[in-house]
Amino acid sequence: MDDDDLQRPYSVCTRDDLKERITKQIDVISEIFCVSTSDATVLLMKLRWNSQLLSERLSQENKKLLTESGLKPVVVTDSNQDLSDSSCDEFYEFFDDVDDDDVKVSTPFCSHKFSTTYWSKYLDKNFFSVEKTLDTISCPHQDCGAAVGRDTIEKLTVKDKNRYDEYVLRSYLDTSKRQVKQCPAQGCSYFIEFHKGTDAEEYGLNVVCLCGHTFCCRCSLETHRPVTCNNASDWLSRDLQKLSEASDKSLSFLWIEANTEPCPHCLSPVEIGLGSLDSKFVPCGYCSGSFCWDCMHSEESHKTESGTYGDCLEPVEQDPLWNVEVVDTSCLDRWEACEVSLVEARSELQAFKESDNTSEEYIRIVREGLMLIVQCRQFLKWTCVYEHIHLEYEASKKEFLRFLQDYANTLVKSYAETLKEETGKGLSAAQLVCSRSNIPGVTSSIGNYFYNFSKALKDGLDAVKVKHYDDFAPCWLCDRCSYANTWLHKACQMCCESPVVNK
């Protein structure tokens, strides 16, 4: 395990890492109690992978446990009965295509023989394709409790062997749900393991997978700081759709208000420009009434006693029906813009992973930078939800939050361009560490800025009450000479001859 993993409350592991850990646990039980690895697997699955409990029971009640687990020979009244034929049809319904030439296989603890085709369909229907993982796989015969272990599976097809390995892994993961979780990103095969003594519900809120996906361990949604799980769920399932509909509705009313006038007969909207160029009277498409576009009075009111048309009357005031309140959807616009930036950041991270780089240190430095950009973009996206939920009626705090968002966006954009420029030069890891731009140092500075940003939102933006915001202004003031330095500099540029570089 790397030093960085020890500093974090979790580590990222692969499917092969978990399978290796399972194999070690099985081998320990097998060696200590002199049982086969196949039987050790059956026992661990039955006792939910609790090695301590299994050791105690094997020491105190060995025969009883083996009998309960189906690892003792089962007495069969008629061992010559072939259960792969009609006698099996009363239990299962999928044996019409069983090949008589198939090899007959039984468990080591009974004599119930079945063809390999029979075994494959039985295991698939009752275990491998079932969502719930059972503690024990037993013989297909309904009156037999003999356990099915790896020694039986080894006699079947390669596909059955692979699916059995996945089934064992599922059993292990089901008993470790609080300690091991699979990354919810589509197509990702990484697992997140929380270290012992760590409360995953408290510390695992922001989990960063090696695939670049960040998610919340409580609700498995994407990382949604600075809002709660309930806030994030409500936003995605309800508020986002309502705001989108309100935005579309507001745009529709704005277009109606700008391009139509209400018919004086039925108050239906009539589009500007539908009238003839030779006449100022416009026909309504809803009630067929005609009215003057200039004064909004009916055509009949313009007629004189002689049958000719007179001058226009006093214009009719606009009906209040069209003065519709427009919903503020600026947070939705910012959300959508942040989503676009987040997708671009993830694409750049994925593109880097697919490139061929030989230096591990180089890969680590650049990947950390790209992953930081993804996390910052995701945080900025969810600050839009924070604004929608908490700052609807607090104009000053909303203005301050947008200042923080804009400046943070500028920092991330500048950092992304710097990282792209330096990596484009093809520098080695040592050159990146010692380069003038100091990529690792800038990475740390931006991380500190977003830490203060997150803390301010958690405190409710209390800093808005004071006149100066040391942690969030475009600069920080040196305690020694009061020089205003940008957040990209870790040391004062006025009183320090050279910036301090972390080694």
What are the φ and ψ backbone dihedral angles of 245, each rounded to 5 degrees? Answer: -65, -40
**Best-predicted range by mean pLDDT (41-45, 99-103, 488-492):** 41-45
Neighbours of 280 (CB within 10 A): 16
- For residues 113, 114, 116, 118, the Cα torsion angle rounded to the nearest 10 degrees is -160
State pLDDT tens for residues 141-191.
988 989 999 999 999 999 999 999 999 999 998 888 768 888 888 888 899
- Given its phi and psi angles, is residue 115 left (phi above 0), alpha (psi -120 to 50 degrees) or beta? beta
CB 146 within 8 A of CB 109: yes
Checking if the pLDDT of 468 tops 90, the result is: no
Cα 361 from chain centroid (whole Å): 28
DSSP 384-397: HHHHHHH-TT-HHH
Query: What percent of the chain is modeled with pLDDT above 70?
Result: 70
As a whole number of angstroms, the distance between CA 100 and CA 363 comes to 57
Contact 195, 348 (CB under 8 A): no
Backbone φ and ψ for 414, nearest 5 degrees, come out as -65, -40
d(CA 374, CA 345): 5
Strand 191-194 relative to strand 114-115: parallel, antiparallel, unpaired? Answer: unpaired
Examine the pLDDT at 208 and tell me if it is beyond 90: no
Mean pLDDT computed over 411-423:
83
Q: What's residue 498's pLDDT?
A: 42
The pTM assigned to this predicted structure is 0.58
Burial 134-159 (b: 16+ CB within 10 A, else e): eebbbbbbeebbbbbbbebbeebeee
| pLDDT reported for residue 282 | 77
Location of structure tokens 């939800």: 385
Instruction: Report which residue type is found at 274.
Output: L
Q: What is the mean pLDDT of residues 78-84?
A: 46
